[in-house]
Amino acid sequence: MDCHPWLISCAVIFHPNQSTQTKNRAMIPALIVLALLLITLLIVISRKPDTFRYTRSIAIGASPAVIYPWLQDLHKFQSWNPWASEDPSSVLTYSGPDSGPGASYTWSGNRKVGEGTMIITETTPDQLVRVRMEFRKPFAATNTVEFTLEPQGANTLVSWIMYGPQPFIAKVMDFFIGCEKMCGPQFTKGLTSLKTLVESPAVN
């Protein structure tokens, strides 16, 4: 008796040949190993610290009083901000006082610069400028930045510090991208530009 075509199709679907069954069984150990590796990776990532702190410092040949205005005036900050050169056409909108607590600006630029708001929240003349960084793009985050000044003889040690919470998604990004490796060189670049500006004959 001839078999109906659809019966043959069903037989193929529900009764795969031996070769297909063998291949499927061979894949199971590989899938188990892959799952175990993924679980291990997630455990390693989840155990990273819940907070982060990046610091870069440079010695500048000037007193804290000379350097401080370059930190607490956001217009002056923009002249040595390392991200400014990443997108010269980025849009800046200043608000509040020109300097000190309450001074802020919002930026919007390309993919390297992103979007966000920088707000000075606290200052100690010739010692500290604390800033709240509100990032919106390429990802949302709120962190704290501090610029500190420490006299060292004829020089001043200027430090650029950023710290904040590190939720799981940030831990994942840090594991694969290395956020400190991205921010650290930029901090150093900015501090080096600040050093050049402050130590120039025009300033002194």
> Is the per-residue pLDDT at 4 higher than 70?
no
What does the alpha-carbon distance between residue 100 and residue 6 come to, in Å, rounded to a whole number? 80
pTM: 0.74
Angstrom CA distances, 133 to 13, 23, 36, 137, 163, stand at 58, 54, 38, 12, 10
Of 133-137, 178-182, 190-194, minimum mean pLDDT range: 178-182
> Is the per-residue pLDDT at 52 higher than 90?
no
Q: pLDDT category, 154, cuts 50, 70, 90?
A: very high
**pLDDT (tens digit, 9 = 90+) per residue, 64-122?**
999 999 999 999 999 999 998 888 888 999 999 989 999 999 999 998 889 999 999 99
Of residues 107 and 30, more confidently modeled: 107
What does the alpha-carbon distance between residue 118 and residue 203 come to, in Å, rounded to a whole number? 26
Question: What is the number of H-type helices and E-type strands within the chain?
Answer: 6, 7
